[in-house]
Amino acid sequence: MLQHFLQEFGYFALFLGTFFEGETILVLAGFLAFRGYMDIYVVVVVAFFGSYAGDQLWYFMGRRHGRKLLARKPRWQLMGDRALEHIRKHPDIWVLSFRFVYGLRTVMPVAIGLSGYPPGRYLLLNGIGAAIWAAALAAAAYHFGAVLEGLLGNVKKYELWVLGGLLLLGLALWLRRRVKNARAARIKAAEAAEASSTPVPVEVPVEIKKPADE
Cα gap 19→48, rounded to integer Å: 9
What count of Cα atoms within 13 Å lies in the side-chain half-sphere of residue 119? 8
Asked whether residue 119 is assigned to any structural domain, the reply reads yes
Q: What is the pLDDT along the chain (214 residues), one digit of tens a residue?
A: 555 566 667 788 889 888 987 778 888 888 888 878 888 999 999 999 999 999 999 899 888 887 787 777 767 777 777 788 888 888 899 999 888 877 677 788 888 988 889 999 999 999 999 999 999 999 988 887 776 665 555 555 555 555 566 566 556 655 665 666 556 556 655 655 565 665 555 555 555 555 555 4
Q: Tell me whether residue 200 is in a domain.
A: no
Q: Determine, yes or no, domain membership for 68.
A: yes
Residue 72 lies in a domain: yes
Q: How far apart are the C-alpha atoms of 105 and 20, rounded to whole Å?
A: 9
What predicted TM-score, i.e. pTM, was given to this entire model?
A: 0.69
Domain interval for residue 180: 2-195
Report how far Cα 110 is from the mean position of its chain's Cα atoms: 11
The tally of CA atoms less than 13 A away on the side-chain side of residue 10 is 23
Considering the domain boundaries, does residue 208 fall inside one?
A: no
Structural domains counted in the chain: 1
Contact between 115 and 88 under an 8 Å Cβ cutoff? The reply is yes
Cβ contact 129:99 at 8 Å:
yes
Give the SS3 label for residue 214. coil
- Coil, helix or strand for 209? coil
